[in-house]
Amino acid sequence: MKKAILGKKLGMTQIFTEDGLVVPVTVVEAGPCSVIQRKTTEVDGYDALVVAFDKQKQNRVNKPDMGAYKKAGVEPCKVRQELRLENCAEHEVGSVITCSVFAEGDKVDVSGLTKGHGFSGVIKRWNQHRLKMTHGTGPVHREVGSMGANSTPSRVFKNRHMPGQYGCEKVTIQNLEIVKVDADRNILLVKGCVPGHKGTYLTIRESVKA
């Protein structure tokens, strides 16, 4: 992976191409990300950059994290993450990664936390059909229904679609296209949708399948 950056989802809109086609895009505030630590193979066993994004008040950062920010000479931020880039040696501690590392037409993978829906039933969680509304079915019509035979195997098999926690999990959408890069405002327009609600923190990295 040669380039990656942290960002925040601002919402969705649409733009028009030169051909007059409407393209739905997600507006992402990408960077600037400050490098607060550089991990090396000699010391840590692998090469990586620890970057910080989205500044916040100093009194909201604990003392160990504040020490790391002061050592790097960087203002405290809300999000820290490791990026395993191939060109880690090119970035010094205290340097800044901006959205200009990407260009229009680049293919990227976007990772983020999906919207949380809490404890959900099988219709909402797995898109199953409801039961019949007549002929003795009820009083519950949105329940899971039959789960298998009675005497054999006398249990419910694993991995059956059942009610439970829905959403709030890390998801990666691959091969999304960057439609526009606005380096002055640190904005990326990504074609299509990305995980999460407005304000979700995202990791945008070079696509592995492009």
The distance of Cα 178 from the centroid of its chain, to the nearest Å, equals 16
What pairs with residue 38 in β-bridges? 49
**Residue 138 pLDDT more than 90?**
no
- DSSP class of residue 136 equals T
- Residue pair 15/25 in contact (Cβ under 8 Å)? The answer is yes
pLDDT of residue 197: 92
For residue 133, the one-letter residue type is M
For 51-87, the pLDDT digits (tens) are 888 888 888 888 888 888 888 888 888 888 888 888 7
- Residue pair 1/107 in contact (Cβ under 8 Å)? The answer is no
> In which residue ranges of the chain is CATH 2.40.30.10 found?
4-117+167-206
For 159-190, the pLDDT digits (tens) are 999 999 999 999 999 999 999 898 889 899 99
For 24-37, the pLDDT digits (tens) are 999 999 878 888 88
pLDDT of residue 94: 80
Q: Which two tokens stand for residue 22?
A: 């409407």
pTM higher than 0.75: yes
**Residue 88 pLDDT more than 80?**
no
pLDDT of residue 14: 93
Q: Give the CA angle between residues 40, 60, 68 to the nearest 5°.
A: 20
Q: Which two tokens stand for residue 186?
A: 């640190």
Counting other chains too, the contacts that 138-141 makes at CB distance below 8 Å and 24 or more residues apart are: none
- Residue pair 142/123 in contact (Cβ under 8 Å)? The answer is yes
Q: Which two tokens stand for residue 90?
A: 């090119």
Topology of the domain comprising 4-117+167-206: Elongation Factor Tu (Ef-tu); domain 3 (2.40.30)
